[in-house]
Each structure stands twice: as structure tokens, then as C-alpha cells.
Amino acid sequence: MSRIITHNTPTEQWQQLVHCAEESCHQQLDEELESYLVFMLMRQTGNNELADSVLANRYLQGMQSEGQCCIQQLQEVGDQCLIYSGLFPKRSRKRLVKVSYYVDLGRSAYIHIAGKMKQGYAILYEHLSEYFVVLMDVLQAMRSLDNDATDHRLLLELSRDCKSERAAGLLADDNIIVFPG
């Protein structure tokens, strides 16, 4: 189902794309998570360092940093893990890791930030950690709005290792039974 998004600003375009993806994977993000996702996508669009980033090193550097530097580095790690797991999940194979590696690292980065922040912002990062897989599912649905071919191996990994409801649903739609394990 190819859709042409015609809105005036980049923010409106990203927001409409997120709405279409939410609808496609039967998820409804709250306003806070949806806004974070839209603005994160806008920030990461021009990030030329995304492909070359060694996230484990950046995570460790963030953990060893203090104050705003720590928060900024860990936010970058969390956001990039969300981008990798959501928009580029097949890339994990080239790096010889599972998608769940990015999910676990991203969740950990966000929850660590929550522990460093004051209450209002702490709640946002707790939600980002808690709903990481849902956000990943929305990003993956965004990718598949142009009817990409289904990768059952990836869907199995996402369903089993990350507990992705979207992946489990797509497997069920294709009559593939996933056994716990």
C-alpha cells in the first residue's frame, strides 16, 4: 500500500508517517512517545555517523561520563539502537548480533538516563525503555508500508527474542506457528 505523504513541514510528514505505521501495526502511541519518535527521526535523519558507530563503546563512555554529557551520550545510544532495530534490523546479521542486542542496549541506555533525570523527564525515559519494542514495531511497520518482502527468519527472532507482537502477528498471518523457546 504505497502512500504519498503531502504535508507542509517535515514534522507533519514524519508525524503522518508514524500515524500510518501505528495504524498498520495496530498500535496507538501516546502523545509523549509519538512526539519523541517523530523528533528522534528528524534528529537522526542527517546523522552521518550512524553507520559507523560502535554502540557498546558509546554506551560505556556514556556510563563513565557525568551530568549532561552522560545523558546526551546514552540518549544517542538509545536512539540509534531504536533506529537499528526498527529501520535496519537486517543489519544486525552483518554485525553478527541479534536484533535483541540493540533492543537490550537501547532499553538499558534509556533506563539509565531515567535514573539520572528529575522526575518529569525520568518518566519519559522509563516509558521509552518500557515501550522500546512497541516503538521498534512502529518503525518496522513504517519500513513495510511500501510492501517489502517478508523475512520470516527475522520475524521469528523478533517474536521470540524481543517479544514483538507485530512480528508474532505477521507470522500468524502467514500460518507460521512459533513455539516458545
Mean pLDDT for 107-127 is 91
Mean pLDDT computed over every residue of the chain: 86
pLDDT for the residue 129: 97
Q: Does residue 101 sit within a domain? A: yes
Q: Does residue 57 sit within a domain? A: yes
Q: How many domains does the chain have?
A: 1
Q: Does residue 141 sit within a domain? A: yes
Range of the domain at 57: 10-147
**pLDDT tens for residues 44-88?**
887 666 666 788 899 999 999 998 999 999 999 999 999 999 998
Q: Does residue 171 sit within a domain? A: no
Q: Does residue 174 sit within a domain? A: no
Q: Does residue 52 sit within a domain? A: yes
Q: Does residue 87 sit within a domain? A: yes
Largest CA distance in the chain: 50
The conformational region for residue 104 under phi > 0 = left, psi -120 to 50 = alpha, else beta, is: alpha
Residue carrying the nine cell digits 521469528: 156
* Angstrom distance (rounded) from CA 21 to CA 125: 22
CB atoms under 10 Å from CB of 19, counted, come to 16
Residue-wise burial string across 1-14, b where 16 or more C-beta atoms lie within 10 A, e elsewhere = eeeeeeeeeeeebb
pTM, two decimals, is: 0.85
Q: Does residue 166 sit within a domain? A: no
